[in-house]
Amino acid sequence: MAELRVEAEGTTVAGVDTVWAAVADANTYAQWGPWNDGGYDPPAKGPSRPGSIQWFRFGRRTTTVERILEVDPPTRIAYTVERGIPVKNYRAEVTLTPNVPSGTSIRWTATWERTLMGRLVHRKLQTVYRQVMEALVAATDSRHAVGGSEEHSVEAPHDRS
């Protein structure tokens, strides 16, 4: 079956370890992103490990539950959505690439089956991915001591449906 896809890319002045600390610990997502709350089930300290179950509350009614599939510290984490949004075979990956001489490029992608419900959430996920990337770049930039001359950028989610 054909897939739907969203992705967002951004660049932060922060080093890869700073960005990794944010994306590899579900307990911190509500501190920097558009989520109201988040963590692990059962409750645990981060970072995420293969097999970890993490959850995030977005807005008043949406709670997603995800299973961590792969972790390659400090540059890649992959997960699947188990429940919370009506998608089938959702797989997402966050990839961090250290920039020389400083900073980090971030790429957050997801694919899922082109079902009726999957198509309905596609537009919303494009918006959410952009919000997540903007928040991640802003949070990691603020954690990095910047002399004021470095810049960051966020690219809009790419629609590859």
Query: For the segment 88-122, what is each residue's pLDDT rounded down to a tens digit?
Result: 999 999 999 999 888 999 999 999 999 999 999 99
Summarize pLDDT for 27-49 with one digit per residue, the tens. Answer: 999 999 999 999 999 999 999 99
One-letter amino acid for residue 94 of the chain? V
CATH number of 3-159: 3.30.530.20
* Domain regions of the chain by residue span: 3-159
